[in-house]
Structure 1
Amino acid sequence: MKITRRYHSCVELSKGRSRLIIDPGSFQVPDNLAEVDAVLVTHIHPDHVDVQALAAARRHNPQIAIYGPAELADHTDLDVITVADGDIFTVGAIEIAVHEAPHGTVTRSTPLPTNLGFLVDGRVLHTGDSFPVLAGVEVALIPVSAPWLKMLDVEDFLRASRPIRFIGVHDGIDNEFGLKLRRGLLGRLAEEHGLEYLPLRPGESVEV
C-alpha cells in the first residue's frame, strides 16, 4: 500500500488500482480528487471536508463513492454512504473498518461532531480528530497540531496504542517554525517509546 500525504489531515491511500482519499478539507484540496474511487470523511469540520470541492469532483466523476458519518448527509446534497462504528466496507481491493472515537474538546461550549476513525486493511489507521486506543496498528496517521490538542495527548496515544510507525497529520495551522519544533518533538517521542516516526511532508509518500 502507498500512503501519500496531501495537506493538513488529508491523506491518499492506494493499493493496486484502488485509490481513496481521506479528509479532503478546505485548507487545500488535492488536484486529483476526481480521480479516486472513494472519499472517506472522518467528520464534518471544514478543514476535513470541502463539500463544494466534493461536488465538483462528483460532477467530473459521478462514480466516486463518498463515505462518512450520518451528519455528512445533512451537510451536503450529495449522495453519501453513511457508516458508523463497527461497519466494514471495501473500496476495490481495500478494506476499511470504522472506529468511532470522541472528537477532541475545543472549548466547553463548542459543539462537537461525530468523529470516525478508519482502519485500512487492518494496517493503517486514520484517527480523524481523536486519539482512540487501538493496539496492533502498523501505521497510525495522527493529529499533531490543533486548538484542542497537546503533545501530551500524542504521547499518551503512542504509549497506549504503540503503532509500529506513525505519521503526523493535521498540522496545516502551523508555520515553518511550529512545524520544525513539532517534528523534533515527534522524533524524540518515537525514540523514547521505541517507535518509528515517518516525517512526511505534503506531497511525500511511503510504501508499507
Structure 2
Amino acid sequence: MKITRRYHSCVELSEGQTSVIIDPGSFEVPENLAEVDAVLVTHIHPDHVDAAALTTARGKNPQLAVYGPAELVGHVDFPYTTVADGDTFEVGDLHIAVHESAHGTVTRSTPLPENLGFLINGRVLHTGDSFPELDGVEVALVPVSAPWLKMLDVEDYLRANRPTRFIGVHDGIDNDFGLNLRRRLLGALAEEHALEYLPLRPGESVEI
C-alpha cells in the first residue's frame, strides 16, 4: 500500500489498481481529486471537506464514489453513501471499516460534528479529529496541531494505542517554525515509546 500525504489532514492511499483520498479540505485540494476511485470524509468541517471542490470533482467524474457521515447531506448536492460506526465496505482492492469517535473539544460552546475514523485494509487508520481507542494498528495518521489538542494528547494516544508507525497530520495551521518544532517533538516521542515516526511532508509518500 502506498500512502501519500497531501495537505493538512488530506491523505491518498493506493493499493493495486485502487486509490482513495481522505479529507480533501479547503486548505488545499488535490489536483487529482476527480481521478481517484473514492473520497472518504471523516466530518463536515471545511478543513476536512471542500464541498465545492468535491462537487466539481463529481461533475467531472460521475463515477467518483463518496462516503461520509449523515451530516454531509447538508453540504453537497449529489448522492453519496452515508456510513456510520461499525460499517464496512469495499472500494476496489481496499476494505474499509468505520470507527466513530468524538471530535476533540474546541471550546465549551462550539458545536461538534459527527466524526468518523477509517481503517483501511486493517492496516492504516485515519482518525479524523479525534484520538480513538484502537490498539496496535500498523500505521496511524495522527492529528498533531489543532485548537482542540496539545502534544500531551498525542503522547497519551501513542502510549495507550501503540501503532507500529505513525504519520503526523492536521498541521496546516502551523508555520515553518511550528512544523519544525512538532517534528522534533514527534521524533522524540517515537524514540521514547519505541515507535516509528514517518515524518512525511505534503507530497511525500511511503510504501508499507
Instruction: Provide the TM-score with structure 1 as the length reference.
Output: 0.99
Unaligned runs of 5+ in 2: none
Q: Give the superposition deviation at 1:136.
A: 2.0
What is the DSSP-based 3-state SS (H/G/I as helix, E as strand, rest coil) of the residue aligned with 1:188? Answer: helix
Residue 13 (structure 1) aligns with = 13
CA distance in 1 between counterparts of 2:150 and 2:40 reads 26
CA distance in 2 between counterparts of 1:76 and 1:110 reads 23
What is the DSSP-based 3-state SS (H/G/I as helix, E as strand, rest coil) of the residue aligned with 2:149? Answer: coil
1:111-168 Cα distance to aligned partner (Å, 9 max, x none): 0000000000000000000000101200000100001110011001001110000000
Residue type of the alignment partner of 1:19: S
Residue 113 (structure 2) aligns with = 113
CA distance in 1 between counterparts of 2:193 and 2:72 reads 37
TM alignment of 1:35-184, pairs within 5 A: 35-184=35-184
What is the DSSP-based 3-state SS (H/G/I as helix, E as strand, rest coil) of the residue aligned with 1:13? Answer: strand
CA distance in 1 between counterparts of 2:90 and 2:153 reads 31
Residue 32 (structure 1) aligns with = 32
What is the DSSP-based 3-state SS (H/G/I as helix, E as strand, rest coil) of the residue aligned with 2:125? Answer: strand
1:165-185 Cα distance to aligned partner (Å, 9 max, x none): 000000000000000000000
Instruction: Provide the TM-score with structure 2 as the length reference.
Output: 0.99
* Poorly superposed stretches of 4+, deviation over 3 Å: none
CA distance in 1 between counterparts of 2:78 and 2:198 reads 35
CA distance in 1 between counterparts of 2:73 and 2:66 reads 10
Q: Give the superposition deviation at 1:43.
A: 0.1
What is the DSSP-based 3-state SS (H/G/I as helix, E as strand, rest coil) of the residue aligned with 2:157? Answer: helix
Unaligned runs of 5+ in 1: none
Q: Give the superposition deviation at 1:74.
A: 2.0
